[in-house]
Chains A and B, each alone.
Chain A
Amino acid sequence: MPNDALQDSLAEKRWLTALAEGDPSALGGIYELYGERIFRYTFRMLGNRTDAEDATAETFLRVVRRSAELRADGAFRTWLFRIARNLCIDKLRQHKLMELPPDAQYSGAEERTTLRVTVHQALNDLPLEYREPLIYCDLEEMSAKEAADILKISVPALKSRLYRGRRALRDKLGSAMERTL
């Protein structure tokens, strides 16, 4: 295990033990460890900073509320991402009901190149079934096993969705990618 991963794993164990013992500082420690990853993930799912910040905060609050469900089997990260995913899906449903475009703020100052904007728009246009494997495996660079565990599907099913998603994204990008690459 690389040194950073080992350190993170030890820190995770320490904070989870503290959380189980009711130590009020445990949430801060877990947020320091996973705050950035959960924020980046929720931003990618929701497409705007404000909703991503709300979803990130709510994810960590739910960790505290549901800490009784925690098991010491090393699956904390999967469980954490599942909580974040459920919150994102709820928010996406609300957006759909309110007819808000999911990428309302995504194409702002942070997305400077035209191709990046096009990629994010194309990604947001994909059905969630294809978008999620791309976010987990190609953007967040998780293993297929971890992504499959979060989605509660088999690894072959995950890979099938991932491959289809890549093809669908390629087809949506079409000439925009050929012009730039």
Chain B
Amino acid sequence: MNNELFEKLVDLYAGRDLTSELDEQMEAAAAVDTGLGHEMTSLRNTVDLLHSDPGPIYTEESYQRILMKLYARGAAIQPKAPSPIHLQYHLPIQG
């Protein structure tokens, strides 16, 4: 098997883009070739790791701050719900 085709198959295996039949054939080949096995496993683990990333959390505070930025720049937009109390500005109490 030429090198380029071998690399392509490993790439497709890592992204789970092979048919189940080819997937099994690759795993059978990896069982007798430790180098290939390591290549396949490490690359698939990398892809799985990315897929399982929960990503940044879109908090209520971020949602509200973006709305405020839009509003401050003149967009005709209003928060759907009142801002949480900790995000509201308070005027100092006058004596």
Residues of A at the B interface (CB closer than 8 Å) are 24-25, 27-28, 31-32, 35-36, 39-40, 43-44, 49, 52-54, 56-57, 60-61, 64, 110, 115-116, 119, 134, 138-139, 141, 163, 166-167, 169-170, 173, 177-178, 181
Contact = CB atoms under 8 A, between A and B. Distances in A.
Q: Is the interface of B mostly helix, strand, loop or mixed?
A: helix
Contacts of B67: 31
Nearest to B69: A57
Contacts of A49: 56, 62
Q: Which 3 A-B pairs have the closest CB atoms?
A: A24-B76, A57-B69, A138-B50
A169 B55 contact: no
Contacts of A110: 56-57
A53 B62 contact: yes
B86 interface: no
A141 B47 CA distance: 11
27 contacts: A24-B76, A31-B77, A35-B58, A35-B66, A39-B62, A40-B58, A43-B55, A44-B56, A52-B56, A52-B62, A53-B62, A57-B66, A57-B73, A60-B70, A110-B57, A115-B49, A119-B50, A134-B50, A138-B47, A138-B51, A166-B11, A166-B15, A166-B47, A170-B42, A173-B46, A177-B42, A177-B46
A43 B59 CA distance: 12
A40 B45 CA distance: 23
Contact of A60 (B43, B50, B58, B75): B75
Interface of B: 7, 11, 14-15, 42-43, 45-47, 49-51, 53, 55-58, 62-63, 65-67, 69-70, 73, 75-78, 80
Contacts of B77: 27-28, 31
B43 A166 contact: yes
Q: Which of A32, A134, A166 has the most CB of B within 10 A?
A: A166
Contacts of B49: 115, 119, 173, 177, 181
Nearest to A42: B56
Given A60-B66, A115-B49, A170-B42, 8 more contacts: A28-B80, A40-B55, A40-B56, A40-B58, A61-B75, A139-B53, A170-B43, A173-B49
B43 to A, nearest CB: 6
A31 B11 contact: no
Contacts of B45: 170, 177, 181
B16 to A, nearest CB: 11
